Structure formats: structure tokens, C-alpha cells
Amino acid sequence: MTFTDTGSTGATLGVAQDVAEGTTSWGIPKPIPGAVGFSTSPEGDTSEFYADNTKYFTYTTNNGYTGDLEMANIPDEILAEMLGMTIDSNGMLVESANDEPKYFALLFQVQGDQKNRRMVYYRCKASRPSEENSTNEASVNPSTDTLNLEMLPTEDKNKYVKGKLQLSESNQAVYNSFFDSVLLPNIA
């Protein structure tokens, strides 16, 4: 899935493809309108080792992030692709205990970011969205869908978690095509 700039936060999803072990690949990103909010928290620990009566070294693990993605509505086609659900011949979204969620890349841009950054989390996995329904009241209170996400390191040798691309004079073409495919780092 990919989120594109649709307001305060946009989003796009590129579902991971089955590829040879040790490599990473995604399908063509699909824009999803209606992003309301996105928050993340880092996952990992810092370990300290003491020797000679002092802190000898510190080791920090990067296990990615956890987060919440709030959407006005998550289209059934996206839920089916992301969570392994099925859409039957009547167009009904069917959830089964045998559904297997798929990994995907999450691409987005926050409108109003002064640095004009576009971002990608390379290996995300979503759990079923929470649902809240209520009766009509005197005023309209729109309900939203919230996905709990895990953003994990890629399984290849590089263990990429996320990337941020800021527009510059030297990367205009790459920046303009950011949402066309999942951009991997160009590291020599």
C-alpha cells in the first residue's frame, strides 16, 4: 500500500512479492485516500556491558517501529490484499480464521512538512482494524478505521527499516517518481 499526499498525511501501499530468499521486492504502489493520522514508536533495546568498573560498551538494537494508521475508510480491496481476506462473487469482504496478513511497504508524505520529505517503511504488517459503530445523533461524528502496524527491518542483508527523501536540486526526478514504486536506497 502507498499513501500519497491527500491532506495532513497521505499514504500508499506496495504489497511485498514472493521473491528469492534474501531479496526484497514489492508490487506497484496503490494510493489510498483518506489518511487521518499516523503515529509510530521505536522498538528495540539498549544493552550496557560493564568491565573495568565502568561502562565498557553500549549496544542498541533496532527492531523497527510499531504504530497506528487512522484512515477515514480502508477500501475492502486494500483490506483483502493486506490482511489476506477474500472478496466473494457478491463483493462481500470475507474474513476467515485462516487469513494470512501480507508484508507491505508504506509510503507517505506529510503535507506542510517544511523539508518536503517523502517517507517509506519497507516491511510493514497490519493487524485487523478496530471498528466502532454508533447510532445517529444530533450532530454527525464520522467514524474512522485504525490499523495497528508493525514496521520491521527487511529480511535481506541490509535490514532496511525506513527511508526519508528530501527534495534537492540533484534528486528532482527520483523525488517526483517516489510514489511510482518502492524506492530502495542507492548505497554504493
DSSP string for residues in 18-79:
P--TT---B---EEE--EEEEEEEE---EEEEEETTEEEEEEE----EEEEEEES---HHHH
Q: Report if residue 36 sits inside a domain.
A: yes
pLDDT score of 11 = 55
Q: Report if residue 148 sits inside a domain.
A: yes
What is the three-class DSSP state of 169? coil
Separation CA 63–CA 150 (nearest Å): 10
The CATH number of the domain holding residue 132 is 2.30.110
Q: Report if residue 133 sits inside a domain.
A: yes
Structural domain for 131, as ranges: 2-180
Residue 166: band (very low, low, confident or very high) from pLDDT cuts 50, 70, 90: very high
Question: Which residues neighbour 89 within 8 Å (Cβ) at sequence distance 6 or greater?
Answer: none
Q: Specify the DSSP element, H or E, that contains 106.
A: strand 104-109
What is the three-class DSSP state of 14? strand
Rounded to an integer, the average pLDDT of 73-83 is 91
Separation CA 127–CA 157 (nearest Å): 26
Inter-residue contact 73 to 6 (CB < 8 Å): no
Residue 20 has pLDDT above 90, yes or no: no
Residue 110 has pLDDT above 60, yes or no: yes
Q: Report if residue 120 sits inside a domain.
A: yes
State how many domains the chain has.
1
Q: Quick count: other Cβ atoms within 10 Å of Cβ 38?
A: 22
Q: Report if residue 188 sits inside a domain.
A: no
Inter-residue contact 66 to 39 (CB < 8 Å): no
Q: Report if residue 95 sits inside a domain.
A: yes
Rounded to an integer, the average pLDDT of 7-36 is 65
Q: Report if residue 187 sits inside a domain.
A: no
User: How do residues 144-159 score in pLDDT, each as one tens digit?
Assistant: 899 999 999 988 888 9
Residue 6 has pLDDT above 50, yes or no: no
Residue 64 has pLDDT above 80, yes or no: yes
Q: Report if residue 118 sits inside a domain.
A: yes
